[in-house]
C-alpha cells in the first residue's frame, strides 16, 4: 500500500508526445484515406486530421499528426 501511494505521488508530470506520419498515396487512395480518417477527429487520442502536403509525379504526400499525453515519472531529489 505504501509503495502504491509513493508511486502515485511520483507520477505527477505529464508530457505531450507528437508523432507525425507521412504516406505516399495515389490520387484515389489519398482521397479515400482522407475521407475515412475524418472520423478520427472524434477519437480521444487527439488525432489531427490528415492533410495533403505535396504532390510529386501523380502521388500525394499525406501527413498525419498524432498527439499523445504521456505520464513521465518525476524524480524528487
Confidence label for 54 from pLDDT (cuts 50, 70 and 90): low
On the question of pLDDT at 1 being above 50, the answer is no
The answer as to whether 64 is a domain residue is: yes
The answer as to whether 25 is a domain residue is: yes
| Rounded-to-integer distance, Cα 34 and Cα 64, Å | 10
On the question of pLDDT at 4 being above 50, the answer is no
| Rounded-to-integer distance, Cα 23 and Cα 60, Å | 8
* Number of domains, the chain: 1
The answer as to whether 3 is a domain residue is: no
Q: What is the mean pLDDT of residues 38-55?
A: 53
Across 24-28, 36-40, 64-68, 73-77, which has the greatest mean pLDDT? 24-28
The answer as to whether 36 is a domain residue is: yes
Q: Give the domain extent around 68.
A: 13-72
The answer as to whether 7 is a domain residue is: no
Q: Which residue has the higher pLDDT, 18 or 11?
A: 18
Amino acid at each position: 500500500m505504501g509503495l502504491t501511494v509513493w508511486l502515485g505521488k511520483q507520477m505527477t508530470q505529464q508530457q505531450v508526445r507528437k508523432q507525425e506520419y507521412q504516406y505516399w498515396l495515389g490520387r484515389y487512395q489519398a482521397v479515400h484515406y482522407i475521407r475515412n480518417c475524418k472520423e478520427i477527429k472524434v477519437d480521444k487520442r487527439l488525432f489531427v486530421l490528415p492533410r495533403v502536403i505535396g504532390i510529386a509525379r501523380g502521388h500525394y504526400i499525406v501527413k498525419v499528426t498524432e498527439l499523445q499525453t504521456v505520464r513521465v515519472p518525476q524524480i524528487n531529489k
